[in-house]
Structure 1
């Protein structure tokens, strides 16, 4: 599914009536009077509402399901060779597993191999992200 499709899915049947005010990160910037009470109460508001007249406000908001869409929650979707990383270990989403795993990528052979499992077959990876080591406690 594409980013645009996820945005349309999140807005549902309201997408067509609001799409002129929806940006590429799924944020609706428009008159809050056009929002239903449920939308107004349940969406994430971004920034401050701006008063544009008596009882009229414009604000950036979006469905909560789109939180993190601007960077895909840190995941890089592999759509072409340009999206592939340098050789190393990454957290990955694979068509072979139901959850994310750690895999080693070898750029020379363009292969992904699971790490820490008995599985020794190459896997197909759809998304990856860097493994960030936690900082140790300060005290």
Structure 2
């Protein structure tokens, strides 16, 4: 299973080594985002239409941009999945129902209570879970 840091480095690919030491450190601590005046990265390369689909870029003040690969969208909360690395990561709520990942693969057909989830994790099968939220009825 990959770490968050590995996912960020892979998403940046060859560009990761071109963004400067300070930006690399910032990037790994801030969900893949760098803040740049574009002197640290080749603006023509990331603004090239060929790369438009790969990077999200925000001009947030007169001189600076915030940029990261689009493939990192959702990394802030792992797309809603909670990775189980220890007993402390298991849900507390015994009344809830959870969707699970078996060795990183979502199994949407499985919905299980906390006890089954904990057993699956202790056997080394279940790696992530996501609470199933019951939707409220529309008001009108």
By the TM > 0.5 criterion, same fold? yes
Measured against the shorter chain, the TM-score band is: 0.7 to 0.9
Pick which of 22-31 and 34-43 moved more: 34-43
Map 1:10-25; keep pairs closer than 5 Å.
10-18=11-19, 20-21=22-23, 22-24=27-29, 25=31
Map 1:48-127; keep pairs closer than 5 Å.
48-51=59-62, 57-86=63-92, 87=94, 88-95=96-103, 99-100=107-108, 101-106=110-115, 110-112=118-120, 124-127=125-128
Runs of at least 5 residues in structure 1 that lack an aligned partner in the other structure: 52-56, 114-121
Select the structure that is richer in strand: 1
CA distance, structure 2, for counterparts of residue 69 and residue 130 of structure 1: 17
CA RMSD, aligned part only? 2.8
Shift of 1:124: 1.8
**TM-score, scaled relative to structure 2:** 0.72
Q: Using a 3 Å threshold, how does the CA distance of structure 1 residues 2 and 91 change in structure 2: closer, same or farther?
A: same
Per-residue Cα deviation, 1:105-138 (whole angstroms, up to 9, x for no partner):
218x93149xxxxxxxx88210111111223223
CA distance, structure 2, for counterparts of residue 58 and residue 124 of structure 1: 45
Runs of at least 5 residues in structure 2 that lack an aligned partner in the other structure: none
